Structure 1
Amino acid sequence: MKFGTKVIHAGIEPDPTTGAIMTPVYQTSTFAQPSPGKHKGYEYARTQNPTRDVLQNNLAALENAAHGLVFASGMSAIDAVLKLLKPGDEVLTSTHLYGGTYRLFTQTYQDFGIKFKFVDMQELNRISEHFNEHTKLVWIETPSNPMMNIIDIKGLAGVCKKFNALFCVDNTFATPYLQNPVTLGADIVMHSVTKYISGHSDVIMGALMTNHHDLYEKLAFNQNSTGAVPGPQDCFLALRGVKTLHIRMQRHCENGRRIAHFLKSHPKVSKVYWPGFEEHQNHMVAKRQMSDFGGMIAFVLKDDKIEPAIQVMEKLKLFTLAESLGGVESLVGHPASMTHASIPREERIKSGLKDSLIRLSVGIEDAEDLVTDLEQALGK
């Protein structure tokens, strides 16, 4: 089944009771049982909900995985993975991470005796030296937030297997439409469903997908026992969003390409971060493991100070200054004070994330209008 068919049909059947084409919202907290301990597969909505089950099955199919789980947020999905670890375990992770992930690592789980080692993973041949007997999990984003760093998933999967470490890929920026980490060897794939998968800036949700049944059972146990599950209405909205994922991603990619090349040629812009450029580090890796380069872009001005960057963001009219990304509407953000503010400044600067960096989530509006908006904000 091709991707455009999967988003409509995979894991989705007409409602067996009514024949409804759209998956119903099972807005209930509990389910009737004919006899104590005997039920029809559903007992309590924290543990199972029919609307949630359909979404989980659909997302698993999109990632070519056997199992899927959805959570109340992307952060609660990450939390479920970290609960697989024990004090003394070590996580090998990239220096380029979403600020919320960094905060969860360093301000929550580090206090429970789990160690986090942050390294540059763009050079595959140097990663092995960072593993040791305590390395139990490798966590990456590719493309990374916000500088679009590219990591070789297949190559790193081989290294993780050699050291018997779990390998998890945050695939939020690429989506299953552009990249499939499970197919490339990842043990777990994580998504902030809030972003491209839902696609309409009206849902908060996370997801995990895996091919390993024993790993799925452990993660499902964490999902149920911790209780960070999404409600059925949010699952319904996410299912509705998924149906147009392939169409939306095509436009995000087309518009992203147009905006990236416009910014690169603008006299006031010094650097554009977009994996579609041949000079982007690991461009050939991105070309090999992604089907296109997405709609996320970051750039810095030649006047490399925070004040001119803020002025540009405040002048934009179609690009809305807001947190988040991946919706149909174009957004602009300032990572240093917004999405990555929880990372200490010295750590941000060390990884190349300047105070003047501007991040764009290019939406699906008409590209000409978006270029015009950037033109008037940047000036001549």
Structure 2
Amino acid sequence: MSPALDLSNGVSASLSNGHSLPHTNGLHTNGGSHPLKSKPTPPPHTDGFSTLAIHTGSHPDPSTGAVIPPISLSTTFAQSSPGVHLGFEYSRSDNPNRRALEELLASIEVGGKEGLGFASGSAATGVVVQALGGARVVEKEGRDGERVRDVEVPHVLSVNDVYGGTYRYLKRVASEGQGLDVTLLDIENATEEDIRAAIRRNTKLIWLESPTNPTLKTLPIPLIARIAREPLPGSSSVPILLGADLVLHSLTKYVNGHSDVVMGGVIVPDPSSHPAPQSLVGRNPEARQEQAKKFYEKLRFLQNATGAIPSPYDCWLAQRGAKTLGLRMKAHGVNGLKVAKVLEAHPLVQKVIYPGLPSNPGYKQAWANLSSHARRWIEEEVVPLSSKSTTSSAASSYAPTPLSPPSPLSSTDSLPPSPLDPSSSSPADHATPPRDGFPFSGMVSFSLSSYDAAVAFLQKSRLFTLAESLGGVESLAEHPASMTHGGIPRAERIAIGIDDGLVRLSVGIEEAEDLVEDVVQALDYVAGLGL
């Protein structure tokens, strides 16, 4: 059996034409209830990202006509007779607001079929890892050919540049507490042979975060998925899953987008909705569908059993935030590119990390990772506006050529593509990226000479609030080495590029000129201190 491939991504969402079917209560309730009949599957359509985000799971209330769904705070629901109800019995098992949000998540993730909401991204991570199981007794061939018994534990292969919370869970909980074997690999710089060598017979999960946080490395997801699907030497199993088997989001970040919700989400694909080439699917596509179904059922069971669920109010807030996700990501991306260019031009800045800059090593991979609609928006609207603009001398001597804000299109987004999308491929399969850069979210990291210089910048900034997290409408700044990644040993931090002078910006959707001016004045202040 090939390992499951998980992409954890706090900032991504993509165009999807998929639908999420209603849950049946028999799978994840307290027991004994009769599942309700599922509603008919809606016919396929071509609605765009923002259309799906606004309408999926959001229907006028049948009793009042309210356009926005009400918040259902009830913990329990009436039953007409034991086990017979209207689809809900206890809010830990299911709730109208959580169901609506989960349907929305499955809809806007390309290739998604089922969504699951969790109390946080860390809770979602925990459930996914718990689903791998624990130690088990296996039989294998001994030195003299005899069958011997041995204890085997699940192995997790993870990109080494993970979010601090992910590192904490994999190292302190999954490894030390659950007894799993965890390997951290520099996948961005690894060869195909390195990746194959790191995958073992007991590898159950390959964990990717792309772009990584805070070094914003973009990973070749299709390549890693192809390697993960290959049978291991001596194995008779046939790989059956295409691409990532699930996607995990920190909904706290861009999806909610207003810094007022802590939540995580997992989306499981519909293996039948995107037929793959026979060479990738293997000889048993029915088994592929069955495996995806069983894995979803296990996650749904653990969601209920652990009680790691979001509140109805948080679900309502996240659903509200997702309605403007497409528009916000365009604004974040345009502002992020402007700030990145300013930083790159400033003599005090030693390094700028922004995948949308031509100087970034992952520039072509970042362009390939964009959805086709995102690339079309950039090519048709952003690039022409940039080429018509002239450098402004009024803002600052470090200011880049300005870009106009994006227009509110209904079906495009400037987000990385879903790893569930079989159309995602290598950089060579796409046109050359724009010559002068392109919007790639609002996340920008840069290095100054020292810890003192970084702190001086953070304290002098007027519009970038010094705080953890990211993805809100307001601009935030933080010092990863002492904040979000402070729990990672210094040697490991340095090895993955998190030095003491690194600053991470979450560029908001304020007026770009104001953000540029603030960055420049803070940098000039640091320069004046001689740091």
- Normalising by structure 1, we get a TM-score of 0.92
Cα 1:58/1:128, change in 2 over 3 Å: same
Q: For structure 1, which segment, 143-152 or 8-17, has the greater mean C-alpha deviation from structure 2 after superposition?
A: 8-17
* Contact 1:264 1:272 survives alignment (8 Å): yes
Number of aligned residue pairs:
360
2:445 partner SS:
strand
2:72 is the counterpart of 1:26: yes
Structure 1 residue aligned with 2:93, among 47, 51, 59? Answer: 47
Q: How many Å separate the matches in 2 of 1:189 and 1:239?
A: 18
SS in 2 for 1:117: strand
Correspondence for 2:212 among 144, 155, 179: 144
Deviation readout 1:179-205 (Å, 9 max, x if unpaired): xxxx98211101110100000000010
Verify: 1:187 aligned to 2:245, yes or no. yes
Distance 1:124 1:19, change over 3 A: farther
**Aligned residue among 224, 228, 235 for 1:160:** 228
1:300 aligns with 2:447: yes
Would the aligned equivalents of 1:67 and 1:213 in 2 still touch at CA under 8 Å?
no
- Which residue matches 1:72? 119
- Per-residue CA shift, 1:311-346, capped at 9, x if unaligned? 111101100000100000000000011111111111
1:163 Cα deviation after fit: 4.7
Cα distance in 1 for residues equivalent to 2:231 and 2:219: 18
Deviations 1:201-254 (A, max 9, x none): 000100000113222111111100000101111111111101110110000000
Aligned residue for 1:119? 185
Larger Rg: 2
Q: Does residue 245 of structure 1 match 2:325?
A: yes
2:504 to 341, 350, 359: 359
Shift in Å, 1:16: 2.8
- Pick closer, same or farther for the CA change 1:184–1:149 going to 2, 3 Å: farther
Paired amino acid for 1:37: G
Match of 2:48 in 1: 2
What SS class does the counterpart of residue 307 from structure 1 fall into? Answer: helix
Query: Deviation at 1:12?
Result: 2.6
Q: Which residue of 1 aligns with 2:302?
A: 222
CA distance in 1, matches of 2:295, 2:61: 30
Could you say which residue in structure 1 is the equivalent of 2:293? 213
What is the rounded CA distance, in whole Å, between the counterparts of 1:257 and 1:295 in structure 2? 8
1:193–1:205 Cα contact (<8 Å) kept: yes
Structure 1 residues 369, 115: CA separation in 2 closer, same or farther (over 3 Å shift)? same
Q: Which residue of 1 aligns with 2:129?
A: 82
- 2: CA distance between counterparts of 1:101 and 1:275? 22
Which residue matches 1:272? Answer: 352
1:57 is matched with 103
Written as runs of structure 1 = structure 2, the 5 A alignment for 1:304-323 is 304-323=449-468
- Contact 1:30–1:45 (8 Å) recurs in 2: yes
Gaps of 5+ in 2: 1-46, 136-152, 233-240, 270-291, 375-413, 415-439
Secondary structure, aligned partner of 2:187 = coil
Secondary structure of residue in 1 paired with 2:336: helix
Q: CA shift at 1:159, angstroms?
A: 1.4
- C-alpha distance in 2, partners of 1:223/1:210? 14
Deviates more, 1:204-213 or 1:359-368: 204-213
Partner amino acid, structure 1, of 2:84: K
Deviation track 1:58-116 (CA, whole Å, cap 9, x = no partner) reads 01111020000000111000011001122311100011010011001101111221011
Which amino acid letter does the alignment assign opposite residue 262 of structure 1?
V
Describe the shift of the 1:366–1:79 C-alpha distance in structure 2 as closer, same or farther (beyond 3 A).
Answer: same
Please state whether the residue corresponding to 1:341 is helix, strand or coil. coil
CA displacement at 1:305 relative to structure 2? 1.2
Task: Tell me how far 1:20 sits from its aligned partner.
Answer: 1.8
Aligned 1:91-102 pairs, distance under 5 A? 91-102=156-167
What code does the residue aligned with 1:80 have? V
Instruction: Output the CA distance in 1 between the equivalents of 2:245 and 2:66.
Output: 35
CA distance in 1, matches of 2:358, 2:181: 36
Runs of 4+ with >3 A deviation: none
CA RMSD in angstroms comes to 1.4
1:261 and 2:341 are equivalent in the alignment: yes
CA drift of 1:124 comes to 5.1
Point out where structure 1 has 5 or more consecutive residues left out of the alignment. Answer: 165-182
Looking at structure 1, the residues matched to 201 and 482 of structure 2 have their Cα atoms a distance apart, in angstroms, of: 37
Which stretch has the larger CA shift, 271-280 or 8-17? Answer: 8-17
Instruction: Please tell me the residue identity of whatever aligns with 2:368.
Output: R
Distance 1:28 1:15 in 2: 16
Residues 158 and 206 in structure 2, CA contact (< 8 A), matched pair in contact too:
yes
Secondary structure at 1:332's aligned position in 2? Answer: strand
Q: CA deviation at 1:41?
A: 1.2
Say if 1:366 and 1:92 are closer, same or farther in 2 by CA, change over 3 A: same
CA–CA distance in structure 2, aligned partners of residues 343 and 353 of structure 1: 10
Contact 2:229 2:242 in 1 (8 A): no
Percent identity, aligned pairs only, is: 46
Letter in 2 for 1:119: L
